[in-house]
Amino acid sequence: MRIRCGSTRFVLLVGDRAIKIGRMRPLRLLFRLLLLPFSKKRREHFFAKYGHTFLQAAWKDLCAGLYANRGEYEYCQAFKDPRVMPTIVLLLKGWIVIQPRGRPLLPNDVRSQLRVFEKCRGRECEMTFPEQFAVNADGQVVLVDYGRAETRTALKLG
Ligand SMILES: Nc1ncnc2c1ncn2[C@@H]1O[C@H](COP(=O)(O)OP(=O)(O)OP(=O)(O)O)[C@@H](O)[C@H]1O
Ligand SMILES: [Mg+2]
């Protein structure tokens, strides 16, 4: 078994499955809240990204992995998008989701197949980074991390 630690999820790579477990991020939230009074830009980003009321934004930041998991599962059920690794099981209200396990990209995969995602690039978009992709059982490069709402929006537009 291998363990990957993402910014919002722990990922257990077990056999042919990737089990994504949402993380709580209390320290990150605490530091963010301590900095908020001093920066208008940070405040605007915080509320725009996580929610309009303070409690809603703080909760969504704390549980970003839960919302990433739910977002991936719902996107997958709604769109059956072949560009993403399917999210096939949702457990514990979304704290855990399961995907097929892909293999990491090799340099050739990046050069030859990643271009399909180039138009979806953006500051908040996971598609900018090769580690967000894997190669599925059919040899296709697919996105394994589409937890952010911005990424799913880019996929819908792409
Ligand atoms: N289906 C999968 N198959 C193989 N590896 C995977 C799979 N899903 C995730 N991983 C690995 O686990 C890492 C973390 O997963 P993921 O990016 O989904 O979590 P995250 O918390 O959203 O990460 P971050 O926000 O830091 O990008 C990925 O970069 C990838 O290496
Ligand atoms: Mg990721």
151 CB near ligand 1 (under 6 Å): no
118 CB near ligand 1 (under 6 Å): no
Q: How far is the CA of 148 from the centre of ligand 2 (A)?
A: 9
Predicted TM-score (pTM) of the model is 0.90
Confidence of residue 8 (pLDDT cuts 50, 70, 90): very high
For 136-147, the pLDDT digits (tens) are 999 999 999 999
For 20-66, the pLDDT digits (tens) are 999 999 998 999 899 988 999 989 888 888 888 889 999 999 999 99
Identify the residue whose C-alpha is closest to ligand 1 atom 27: 6
- DSSP assignments along the chain, one per residue: -EEEE-SSEEEEEETTEEEEEEPP-HHHHHHHHHHGGG-HHHHHHHHHHH-SSHHHHHHHHHTHHHHHHHHHHHHHHHH--TTB----EEEGGGTEEEEEPPBPPPHHHHHHHGGGGGGG--TT-GGG-GGGEEE-TTS-EEES---SHHHHHHHHH-
